[in-house]
Amino acid sequence: MRQQFLFSPTLRDVPQGADIPSHQLMLRAGLIRQTASGIYSYLPLGKRVLNHVEKIIREEMNNSGAQEILMPAVQPSELWEESGRLDDYGPELMRLNDRNDRQFVLGPTHEEVITSLVRDELNSYKKLPVNLYQIQTKYRDERRPRFGVLRSREFIMKDAYSFNPDTESLAQSYDAMYEAYSNIFRRCGLDFRAVKADAGAIGGKGGTHEFMVLSDVGEDTIAYSDASDYAANLEIADLPDTFAESAVPEEEAKSVHTPDARSMDDVSAQLFLPLDQLIKSVLFIVDDEPVLFICRGDHELNDVKIGNALDAGTTRLAEEEEIRNLFDTEPGFIGPAGIPENVKVMADYAVKSISSGVCGANKIDTHLLHVHPERDMNIDQYGDFRFVKEGDPAPDGEGTIQFAKGIEVGHVFKLGTKYSEALGAYYLDENGSSRPLLMGCYGIGVSRTLAAIIEQHHDEDGLIWPRSVAPFDLHLLVLNSKQEDQLNLGETLYENLRQHGYDVLFDDRKERAGVKFKDGDLIGLPVRITCGKKADEGIVEVKERRTGEMEEVHVENLAAYLS
Ligand code: ATP
Ligand code: MG
Ligand code: MG
Ligand code: MG
């Protein structure tokens, strides 16, 4: 590709509203442009990287025995009624009507469609197991789209669904996906960890792991051992501070937490929490005022001034800005890691009381509106509660606990029979009895993976692509296009290198050398070849973007040198 024709508008300055390196660099290097909030167009460089990531995904998925299909993005609402998720999914689900007023949704995920697709076909154990996948556009009307393609409203996902006759077969499919995912993310050049995770909105019983790319911009916190394979999303990390004895039915716990809210629509997502999430809440006392932090499924924190909420029947939800001001800190999981010094931490007393049912709203109210930080800060009196710090022993007894921020790039679930039962997907087993299909589902955020790669591979000058996903293999550059010998050598090499199978970006622009070098560093191709002052001797300069190492190479030796 000749760079003079490449549609890759670069920006010198950091664009407004782009807060993290990947978002800034994707805009600056001309990989993406925003079309609407949380909705992006991919320009040629961005699309090339996407293609490479998708190629890796396809190779590993096909290798695992999965088969590629393509399902529609537009899905009839009836399917979502059948599964019960039309209401459950909440405002993230994008809905639309056709000209005859039939209701549809834009798929945020495809359990319903795929289950309906196979329910009349996979009707015998002889046809199982099957694993079907697609790479396709998904829609989620995220409450707060941000960080560019890291959390967007339209994004590309690879989603796979396995159909299995029994738990053993499901475990095999799950393990195969776990392995394929490990290969995929390794081949993408990512430093990642597979962590035990929470089943979240997708439901179902059984195992689930998230693939987390370690990065400070990650929205999840993971706890891991420095000496073993132990790793878990902090939401579910089986650390000593999570107390176990919460015996109250979920419904009751919910009712305590849903007083007459100002707007039920507004807060239901925040307050209709399953018990396991409720007990992960943490109570803080700020200026003598109790603030209950609830960690939601999407890991964002919301505070409920529980005094107000439970007393006056109103609930106030803080936006991030407010949390920042309140605590002078970024919102995140208020867990063992990073509790700001200025925040007085009370034990999980209130949460414990609510979820174990020993006291209802009124009692909490009494207790908490009159909290004494000194008295109530003595967390020992609340039993087994304590915060786990970095360096404490890991739950598996091997090594110590460490915390890290992670970007969820992949997620594997054992779904069980939730969707097959709801949508009537049954098969006949060896004995002729009808059984619901066991399902697993396995997702990768393809576009998010792009951003995650950049988070781990850049410097102050720009992108540094791992070879496996780089938009081009080589950046060929003519130092001074007015010098005929340099230009001629460039043209010759452009032909030769492509004949050797390299994808070459040829900067034949009539720009100053400084501009070309700056753009080159910004775009970040793995290797740069410059035809410069020694062109007449047949010598070029070869520079590795990652290390900055530079070497003069004779063109006769170039192919051998590059391989
Ligand atoms: P998150 O916790 O970040 O909201 P999720 O758990 O809701 O993600 P899943 O339902 O597990 O997401 O979807 C599978 C994968 O799709 C995720 O692991 C993630 O990589 C990707 N993904 C989910 N939501 C988005 C989004 N809004 N933008 C980009 N990628 C996303
Ligand atoms: Mg998640
Ligand atoms: Mg989500
Ligand atoms: Mg997930």
Ligand nearest to the CA of 109: 1
> What would the mean pLDDT of 488-515 be, rounded to a whole number?
96
Chain-centroid distance, C-alpha 345: 30
Question: Which among 304, 291, 287 has a CA at the least distance from the CA of 368?
Answer: 291
Give yes or no for a contact between 445 and 412, defined as CB atoms under 8 angstroms apart: no
Atom of ligand 1 at shortest range from CA of 211: 18
Give yes or no for a contact between 21 and 148, defined as CB atoms under 8 angstroms apart: no
Atom of ligand 1 at shortest range from CA of 210: 18
Name every protein residue with a CB atom under 6 angstroms from any ligand 1 atom.
Answer: 109, 140, 142, 151-152, 155, 157, 200, 298, 408-411, 443, 445, 447-448
pLDDT given for residue 130 in this prediction: 98
Which whole-number Å values give the CA distances from 290 to 234, 349, 382, 386, in the listed order? Answer: 23, 11, 17, 19
Kindly give the distance from the C-alpha atom of residue 205 to the centroid of ligand 3, in angstroms, as a whole number: 19
The mean pLDDT of the chain is: 78
Kindly give the distance from the C-alpha atom of residue 447 to the centroid of ligand 4, in angstroms, as a whole number: 15
Give 394's DSSP letter: P
Which whole-number Å values give the CA distances from 140 to 90, 93, 109, in the listed order? Answer: 10, 6, 9
Question: Which among 397, 471, 477, 20 has a CA at the least distance from the CA of 227?
Answer: 397
Structure tokens at 238: 């089986």
Q: In this model, does residue 85 exceed pLDDT 60?
A: yes
Kindly report, residue by residue over 372-406, the tens digit of the pLDDT: 333 333 333 333 333 455 777 777 789 987 878 89
Kindly give the distance from the C-alpha atom of residue 298 to the centroid of ligand 3, in angstroms, as a whole number: 5
| pTM score | 0.79
Kindly report, residue by residue over 321-332, the tens digit of the pLDDT: 443 444 333 333
Kindly report, residue by residue over 191-228, the tens digit of the pLDDT: 999 998 865 444 444 588 999 999 999 988 787 889 98
Structure tokens at 59: 């190779």
Kindly report, residue by residue over 219-254, the tens digit of the pLDDT: 887 878 899 888 877 666 544 332 222 222 333 333
Kindly give the distance from the C-alpha atom of residue 248 to the centroid of ligand 3, in angstroms, as a whole number: 27
Kindly give the distance from the C-alpha atom of residue 127 to the centroid of ligand 4, in angstroms, as a whole number: 29
Atom of ligand 1 at shortest range from CA of 409: 20
- Interface ipTM above 0.85: yes
Kindly give the distance from the C-alpha atom of residue 120 to the centroid of ligand 1, in angstroms, as a whole number: 30
Atom of ligand 1 at shortest range from CA of 108: 10
| Residue having the nearest C-alpha atom to atom 4 of ligand 1 | 298
Q: In this model, does residue 268 exceed pLDDT 70?
A: no
Ligand nearest to the CA of 157: 1
Which whole-number Å values give the CA distances from 157 to 33, 70, 161, 178, 226, in the listed order? Answer: 19, 12, 13, 16, 31
Residues in the chain: 563
Q: Which of 89, 152, 157 should be mutated for ligand 1, with most atoms under 8 A from CB? A: 157
Least confident window among 10-14, 28-32, 99-103, 167-171: 10-14
Give yes or no for a contact between 440 and 7, defined as CB atoms under 8 angstroms apart: no
List, in sequence order, every beta strand (DSSP E) within 71-191: 74-76, 94-97, 103-106, 130-139, 154-164
Q: In this model, does residue 137 exceed pLDDT 60?
A: yes
Kindly give the distance from the C-alpha atom of residue 300 to the centroid of ligand 1, in angstroms, as a whole number: 14
pLDDT given for residue 427 in this prediction: 98
287, burial (CB in 10 Å: exposed 0-12, middle 13-18, buried 19+):
exposed
Question: Which among 522, 527, 523, 560 has a CA at the least distance from the CA of 541?
Answer: 527
Q: In this model, does residue 113 exceed pLDDT 50?
A: yes
**Beta bridge pairs of residue 553:** 540
pLDDT given for residue 269 in this prediction: 30
Kindly give the distance from the C-alpha atom of residue 218 to the centroid of ligand 3, in angstroms, as a whole number: 13
Higher pLDDT, 356 or 111: 111
Kindly give the distance from the C-alpha atom of residue 208 to the centroid of ligand 3, in angstroms, as a whole number: 15
Q: Which of 137, 408, 409 should be mutated for ligand 1, with most atoms under 8 A from CB? A: 408
Handedness of CA 328, 329, 331, 332 (dihedral sign): negative
Kindly give the distance from the C-alpha atom of residue 428 to the centroid of ligand 3, in angstroms, as a whole number: 35
| Residue having the nearest C-alpha atom to atom 18 of ligand 1 | 410
Atom of ligand 1 at shortest range from CA of 297: 2
| Residue having the nearest C-alpha atom to atom 5 of ligand 1 | 298
| Residue having the nearest C-alpha atom to atom 22 of ligand 1 | 445
| Residue having the nearest C-alpha atom to atom 13 of ligand 1 | 443
| Confidence category of residue 171, pLDDT binned at 50, 70, 90 | very high
